[in-house]
Amino acid sequence: MKLSHFNFNLPKELLAEFPAENRDESRLMVIDRQKQTIEHKMFKDVINYFDDGDVLILNNTKVFPARLYGNKEKTGARIEVFLLRELNSEQRLWDVLVDPARKIRIGNKLYFGDDDSLVAEVIDNTTSRGRTLRFLYDGSYEEFRNKLTELGETPIPKYINREVTAEDAERYQTIYAKEEGAVAAPTAGLHFSKHLLKKLEIKGVNFAEVTLHVGLGTFNPVEVEDLSKHKMDSEELIINQQACDIVNEAKGKKKRICAVGTTSMRAIESSVSSANTLNPYEGWTNKFIFPPHDFSIANCMITNFHTPKSTLLMMISAFCGHDLMKKAYDEAIKEGYKFYSYGDAMLIL
Protein backbone atom coordinates (compact mmCIF):
# COMPACT_ATOMS: atom_id res chain seq x y z
CA MET A 1 0.00 0.00 0.00
CA LYS A 2 1.07 3.58 -0.66
CA LEU A 3 1.08 6.71 1.48
CA SER A 4 -1.75 8.21 -0.57
CA HIS A 5 -4.07 5.42 0.63
CA PHE A 6 -3.93 6.97 4.12
CA ASN A 7 -5.03 10.50 3.35
CA PHE A 8 -8.43 11.92 4.33
CA ASN A 9 -9.96 15.31 5.09
CA LEU A 10 -10.53 15.92 8.77
CA PRO A 11 -12.71 18.89 9.76
CA LYS A 12 -10.88 21.15 12.24
CA GLU A 13 -13.81 21.13 14.65
CA LEU A 14 -13.25 17.39 15.26
CA LEU A 15 -9.83 17.96 16.86
CA ALA A 16 -10.27 17.44 20.60
CA GLU A 17 -8.76 20.38 22.47
CA PHE A 18 -10.03 19.28 25.88
CA PRO A 19 -10.57 15.80 27.38
CA ALA A 20 -13.98 14.40 28.30
CA GLU A 21 -15.04 15.52 31.77
CA ASN A 22 -14.86 11.93 33.03
CA ARG A 23 -12.21 9.65 31.57
CA ASP A 24 -14.52 6.73 30.77
CA GLU A 25 -17.32 8.84 29.28
CA SER A 26 -15.79 9.57 25.92
CA ARG A 27 -17.47 7.88 22.97
CA LEU A 28 -16.49 4.40 21.81
CA MET A 29 -16.82 3.00 18.32
CA VAL A 30 -16.89 -0.82 18.38
CA ILE A 31 -15.71 -2.54 15.20
CA ASP A 32 -16.19 -6.27 14.71
CA ARG A 33 -13.77 -7.52 12.04
CA GLN A 34 -15.54 -10.86 11.55
CA LYS A 35 -19.06 -9.46 11.25
CA GLN A 36 -17.83 -6.26 9.53
CA THR A 37 -20.10 -4.23 11.82
CA ILE A 38 -19.76 -0.84 13.53
CA GLU A 39 -21.55 0.08 16.78
CA HIS A 40 -21.61 3.30 18.83
CA LYS A 41 -21.15 3.08 22.61
CA MET A 42 -19.64 4.92 25.59
CA PHE A 43 -16.12 3.99 26.65
CA LYS A 44 -17.29 2.53 29.98
CA ASP A 45 -19.25 -0.05 27.94
CA VAL A 46 -15.91 -1.64 27.04
CA ILE A 47 -16.34 -3.87 30.10
CA ASN A 48 -19.11 -5.78 28.27
CA TYR A 49 -16.61 -7.11 25.72
CA PHE A 50 -14.26 -8.82 28.21
CA ASP A 51 -14.58 -11.91 30.41
CA ASP A 52 -12.71 -13.85 33.06
CA GLY A 53 -9.17 -14.69 31.91
CA ASP A 54 -9.01 -12.09 29.14
CA VAL A 55 -5.99 -9.76 29.16
CA LEU A 56 -5.50 -6.03 28.64
CA ILE A 57 -1.93 -5.06 27.71
CA LEU A 58 -1.18 -1.61 29.16
CA ASN A 59 1.76 0.69 28.40
CA ASN A 60 2.74 2.03 31.83
CA THR A 61 5.10 4.74 30.56
CA LYS A 62 4.79 8.12 32.26
CA VAL A 63 5.03 11.46 30.46
CA PHE A 64 7.60 13.87 31.83
CA PRO A 65 7.32 17.68 31.46
CA ALA A 66 9.43 17.75 28.29
CA ARG A 67 8.73 21.26 26.97
CA LEU A 68 10.98 24.04 28.27
CA TYR A 69 11.25 27.69 27.33
CA GLY A 70 14.63 29.42 27.52
CA ASN A 71 16.36 32.55 26.32
CA LYS A 72 19.34 32.70 24.01
CA GLU A 73 22.43 34.41 25.37
CA LYS A 74 23.07 37.98 24.22
CA THR A 75 19.90 38.34 22.10
CA GLY A 76 17.48 37.09 24.75
CA ALA A 77 15.38 35.44 22.00
CA ARG A 78 12.74 33.05 23.41
CA ILE A 79 13.52 29.48 22.37
CA GLU A 80 11.37 26.40 22.86
CA VAL A 81 13.34 23.28 23.81
CA PHE A 82 11.60 19.91 23.60
CA LEU A 83 13.46 17.19 25.49
CA LEU A 84 13.49 13.94 23.51
CA ARG A 85 15.85 11.58 25.33
CA GLU A 86 18.66 11.58 27.82
CA LEU A 87 21.92 10.47 26.21
CA ASN A 88 24.26 10.54 29.22
CA SER A 89 23.14 11.16 32.80
CA GLU A 90 26.63 11.94 34.13
CA GLN A 91 27.39 14.55 31.50
CA ARG A 92 23.74 15.68 31.40
CA LEU A 93 23.55 15.31 27.63
CA TRP A 94 20.14 15.36 25.96
CA ASP A 95 18.73 15.01 22.46
CA VAL A 96 16.27 17.88 21.96
CA LEU A 97 14.26 19.73 19.34
CA VAL A 98 14.56 23.52 19.25
CA ASP A 99 12.22 26.11 17.77
CA PRO A 100 13.05 28.40 16.02
CA ALA A 101 15.96 26.19 14.98
CA ARG A 102 17.66 28.56 12.55
CA LYS A 103 18.79 30.74 15.46
CA ILE A 104 20.44 27.94 17.42
CA ARG A 105 24.01 26.96 16.51
CA ILE A 106 26.76 24.90 18.10
CA GLY A 107 28.33 26.86 20.96
CA ASN A 108 25.20 28.89 21.78
CA LYS A 109 24.06 28.98 25.40
CA LEU A 110 20.43 28.94 26.55
CA TYR A 111 19.22 30.17 29.94
CA PHE A 112 16.15 28.78 31.71
CA GLY A 113 14.10 30.05 34.66
CA ASP A 114 13.54 33.59 35.88
CA ASP A 115 16.84 33.39 37.75
CA ASP A 116 18.75 31.62 34.93
CA SER A 117 19.26 28.75 37.38
CA LEU A 118 19.67 26.26 34.53
CA VAL A 119 21.97 26.76 31.55
CA ALA A 120 22.47 24.58 28.46
CA GLU A 121 25.16 24.65 25.81
CA VAL A 122 24.52 23.45 22.23
CA ILE A 123 27.21 20.87 21.38
CA ASP A 124 25.88 19.24 18.20
CA ASN A 125 23.38 19.55 15.32
CA THR A 126 21.53 16.26 14.77
CA THR A 127 18.73 17.16 12.31
CA SER A 128 17.23 20.36 10.95
CA ARG A 129 15.49 20.96 14.30
CA GLY A 130 17.45 18.51 16.42
CA ARG A 131 20.30 19.50 18.73
CA THR A 132 22.36 17.88 21.47
CA LEU A 133 22.49 19.97 24.64
CA ARG A 134 24.80 19.73 27.64
CA PHE A 135 23.02 21.08 30.72
CA LEU A 136 25.16 23.00 33.18
CA TYR A 137 23.76 22.86 36.70
CA ASP A 138 25.36 23.06 40.16
CA GLY A 139 23.73 20.25 42.07
CA SER A 140 23.23 16.51 42.26
CA TYR A 141 21.62 14.54 39.43
CA GLU A 142 18.42 14.26 41.47
CA GLU A 143 18.36 18.04 41.97
CA PHE A 144 18.97 18.53 38.24
CA ARG A 145 16.02 16.28 37.33
CA ASN A 146 13.84 18.10 39.86
CA LYS A 147 14.84 21.38 38.21
CA LEU A 148 13.81 20.05 34.78
CA THR A 149 10.44 19.02 36.25
CA GLU A 150 10.02 22.43 37.90
CA LEU A 151 10.80 24.38 34.70
CA GLY A 152 9.16 22.04 32.19
CA GLU A 153 5.52 21.90 31.17
CA THR A 154 3.27 19.04 30.12
CA PRO A 155 3.99 18.42 26.41
CA ILE A 156 0.41 18.41 25.15
CA PRO A 157 0.36 18.11 21.34
CA LYS A 158 1.02 21.23 19.26
CA TYR A 159 -2.33 21.04 17.45
CA ILE A 160 -4.05 21.81 20.80
CA ASN A 161 -4.07 25.53 20.24
CA ARG A 162 -4.32 26.78 23.82
CA GLU A 163 -2.22 27.34 26.90
CA VAL A 164 -1.31 24.32 29.02
CA THR A 165 -3.51 24.16 32.14
CA ALA A 166 -2.79 22.67 35.56
CA GLU A 167 -5.39 20.00 34.73
CA ASP A 168 -3.30 18.81 31.75
CA ALA A 169 -0.53 17.59 34.07
CA GLU A 170 -2.96 15.00 35.47
CA ARG A 171 -5.20 14.35 32.45
CA TYR A 172 -2.40 13.89 29.92
CA GLN A 173 -1.26 10.88 31.95
CA THR A 174 -2.82 7.43 32.19
CA ILE A 175 -3.94 6.46 35.70
CA TYR A 176 -1.54 3.49 35.57
CA ALA A 177 1.50 5.56 34.46
CA LYS A 178 4.57 4.51 36.48
CA GLU A 179 7.81 4.55 34.48
CA GLU A 180 8.84 8.09 33.56
CA GLY A 181 10.33 8.53 30.10
CA ALA A 182 7.69 9.40 27.48
CA VAL A 183 7.37 12.73 25.68
CA ALA A 184 3.79 11.93 24.64
CA ALA A 185 1.05 9.96 26.37
CA PRO A 186 -0.08 6.53 25.16
CA THR A 187 -3.45 8.13 24.56
CA ALA A 188 -5.74 5.08 24.25
CA GLY A 189 -5.09 4.50 27.96
CA LEU A 190 -6.35 7.99 28.89
CA HIS A 191 -9.92 6.64 28.68
CA PHE A 192 -9.56 4.29 31.66
CA SER A 193 -10.76 5.48 35.07
CA LYS A 194 -9.78 3.81 38.35
CA HIS A 195 -13.39 2.73 38.74
CA LEU A 196 -13.49 1.05 35.30
CA LEU A 197 -10.18 -0.77 35.86
CA LYS A 198 -11.47 -2.02 39.21
CA LYS A 199 -14.68 -3.33 37.61
CA LEU A 200 -12.62 -5.13 34.94
CA GLU A 201 -10.43 -6.64 37.65
CA ILE A 202 -13.48 -7.85 39.59
CA LYS A 203 -14.75 -9.45 36.38
CA GLY A 204 -11.53 -11.50 36.21
CA VAL A 205 -9.72 -9.54 33.48
CA ASN A 206 -5.91 -9.60 33.87
CA PHE A 207 -3.52 -6.74 33.16
CA ALA A 208 -0.09 -7.16 31.59
CA GLU A 209 2.08 -4.05 31.81
CA VAL A 210 4.78 -3.23 29.28
CA THR A 211 6.85 -0.05 29.02
CA LEU A 212 7.37 1.72 25.71
CA HIS A 213 8.67 5.24 26.19
CA VAL A 214 6.79 7.12 23.49
CA GLY A 215 9.01 9.46 21.48
CA LEU A 216 8.13 11.87 18.74
CA GLY A 217 8.96 9.22 16.14
CA THR A 218 5.51 7.78 16.70
CA PHE A 219 4.02 11.02 15.37
CA ASN A 220 6.53 11.95 12.68
CA PRO A 221 4.67 12.21 9.38
CA VAL A 222 5.45 9.66 6.71
CA GLU A 223 6.89 11.48 3.70
CA VAL A 224 7.65 8.63 1.29
CA GLU A 225 5.01 7.14 -0.98
CA ASP A 226 6.62 3.69 -0.63
CA LEU A 227 5.90 2.81 3.02
CA SER A 228 8.72 0.25 3.16
CA LYS A 229 11.19 3.14 2.90
CA HIS A 230 9.93 4.96 6.01
CA LYS A 231 12.26 4.73 9.02
CA MET A 232 10.79 4.91 12.53
CA ASP A 233 12.76 6.57 15.33
CA SER A 234 13.81 4.09 18.01
CA GLU A 235 11.97 4.06 21.32
CA GLU A 236 12.98 2.37 24.56
CA LEU A 237 11.08 -0.83 25.35
CA ILE A 238 10.89 -3.08 28.43
CA ILE A 239 8.80 -6.26 28.63
CA ASN A 240 9.29 -8.30 31.79
CA GLN A 241 8.75 -12.01 32.40
CA GLN A 242 5.58 -11.43 34.45
CA ALA A 243 3.86 -9.69 31.51
CA CYS A 244 4.93 -12.52 29.19
CA ASP A 245 3.51 -15.16 31.55
CA ILE A 246 0.13 -13.38 31.78
CA VAL A 247 -0.13 -12.94 28.00
CA ASN A 248 1.15 -16.40 27.02
CA GLU A 249 -1.16 -18.17 29.46
CA ALA A 250 -4.17 -16.33 28.01
CA LYS A 251 -2.97 -17.08 24.49
CA GLY A 252 -2.72 -20.77 25.32
CA LYS A 253 -6.33 -20.69 26.54
CA LYS A 254 -7.48 -18.77 23.43
CA LYS A 255 -8.67 -15.83 25.52
CA ARG A 256 -9.17 -12.28 24.27
CA ILE A 257 -5.85 -10.39 24.38
CA CYS A 258 -6.33 -6.65 23.90
CA ALA A 259 -3.50 -4.22 23.19
CA VAL A 260 -4.48 -0.88 24.71
CA GLY A 261 -3.07 1.55 22.18
CA THR A 262 -0.74 1.43 19.21
CA THR A 263 2.29 1.70 21.52
CA SER A 264 1.31 -1.48 23.40
CA MET A 265 0.76 -3.22 20.07
CA ARG A 266 4.13 -2.10 18.74
CA ALA A 267 5.77 -3.21 21.98
CA ILE A 268 4.49 -6.78 21.85
CA GLU A 269 5.00 -7.15 18.10
CA SER A 270 8.65 -6.20 18.68
CA SER A 271 9.36 -9.29 20.79
CA VAL A 272 7.65 -12.38 19.38
CA SER A 273 9.14 -15.88 19.63
CA SER A 274 9.24 -18.37 16.76
CA ALA A 275 6.27 -20.08 18.47
CA ASN A 276 4.30 -16.79 18.33
CA THR A 277 4.50 -16.20 22.08
CA LEU A 278 5.67 -13.06 23.86
CA ASN A 279 9.33 -12.87 24.90
CA PRO A 280 10.89 -10.64 27.60
CA TYR A 281 12.77 -7.70 26.12
CA GLU A 282 14.90 -4.78 27.23
CA GLY A 283 16.29 -2.43 24.62
CA TRP A 284 15.05 -0.30 21.74
CA THR A 285 12.53 -0.84 18.97
CA ASN A 286 11.92 0.92 15.65
CA LYS A 287 9.18 -1.49 14.58
CA PHE A 288 6.96 -0.01 11.90
CA ILE A 289 3.69 -1.89 11.32
CA PHE A 290 1.84 -1.29 8.06
CA PRO A 291 -0.28 -3.48 5.75
CA PRO A 292 0.08 -6.32 5.18
CA HIS A 293 1.13 -7.55 8.64
CA ASP A 294 0.37 -10.77 10.52
CA PHE A 295 -0.25 -9.95 14.18
CA SER A 296 1.14 -12.59 16.53
CA ILE A 297 -0.13 -11.81 20.03
CA ALA A 298 -3.18 -9.52 20.35
CA ASN A 299 -6.55 -10.39 18.79
CA CYS A 300 -8.21 -7.14 19.85
CA MET A 301 -7.14 -3.52 20.34
CA ILE A 302 -8.27 -0.19 21.76
CA THR A 303 -7.09 2.96 20.03
CA ASN A 304 -7.92 6.61 19.40
CA PHE A 305 -8.71 8.20 16.04
CA HIS A 306 -5.48 9.17 14.29
CA THR A 307 -4.09 11.75 11.89
CA PRO A 308 -4.04 11.28 8.11
CA LYS A 309 -0.82 9.70 6.73
CA SER A 310 0.39 8.72 10.22
CA THR A 311 2.16 5.49 11.19
CA LEU A 312 -0.62 4.97 13.73
CA LEU A 313 -3.31 4.96 11.04
CA MET A 314 -1.24 2.47 9.04
CA MET A 315 -1.12 0.08 11.97
CA ILE A 316 -4.91 0.32 12.40
CA SER A 317 -5.34 -0.43 8.70
CA ALA A 318 -3.12 -3.51 9.05
CA PHE A 319 -5.11 -4.76 12.07
CA CYS A 320 -8.63 -3.79 11.02
CA GLY A 321 -8.43 -4.27 7.26
CA HIS A 322 -8.10 -1.19 5.08
CA ASP A 323 -11.64 -1.04 3.70
CA LEU A 324 -13.25 -1.51 7.12
CA MET A 325 -10.93 1.12 8.62
CA LYS A 326 -11.90 3.62 5.90
CA LYS A 327 -15.58 2.89 6.47
CA ALA A 328 -15.12 3.40 10.24
CA TYR A 329 -13.28 6.70 9.78
CA ASP A 330 -15.92 7.97 7.33
CA GLU A 331 -18.58 7.13 9.89
CA ALA A 332 -16.58 8.72 12.73
CA ILE A 333 -16.39 12.00 10.81
CA LYS A 334 -20.10 11.85 9.91
CA GLU A 335 -21.06 11.13 13.55
CA GLY A 336 -18.81 13.87 14.96
CA TYR A 337 -16.33 11.70 16.86
CA LYS A 338 -13.41 13.64 18.34
CA PHE A 339 -9.93 12.87 17.04
CA TYR A 340 -6.39 12.64 18.45
CA SER A 341 -5.01 12.66 21.99
CA TYR A 342 -8.03 13.90 23.95
CA GLY A 343 -10.51 12.43 21.47
CA ASP A 344 -12.81 9.43 21.42
CA ALA A 345 -11.85 5.74 21.20
CA MET A 346 -12.24 2.71 19.01
CA LEU A 347 -12.42 -0.95 20.07
CA ILE A 348 -11.48 -3.36 17.29
CA LEU A 349 -12.57 -6.95 17.93
Structural domain boundaries of the chain?
3-63+169-348, 67-153
Q: Is the pLDDT of residue 84 over 80?
A: yes
> Which CATH fold topology does 67-153 show?
Thrombin, subunit H (2.40.10)
pLDDT, mean of residues 206-211 = 98
Q: Is the pLDDT of residue 17 over 80?
A: yes
Q: What is the pLDDT of residues 238-263, one digit of tens each?
A: 999 999 999 999 999 999 999 999 99
Q: How confident is the model at residue 138 (pLDDT cuts 50, 70, 90)?
A: confident
> Which CATH fold topology does 3-63+169-348 show?
QueA-like (3.40.1780)
Q: Is the pLDDT of residue 63 over 90?
A: yes
Q: How confident is the model at residue 199 (pLDDT cuts 50, 70, 90)?
A: very high
Long-range own/partner contacts, residues 82-91 (CB < 8 A, 24 or more apart): 82/155, 82/183, 82/216, 83/148, 83/152, 83/183, 84/130, 84/183, 84/215, 84/216, 85/213, 85/215, 85/236, 87/132, 89/141, 90/141, 91/134
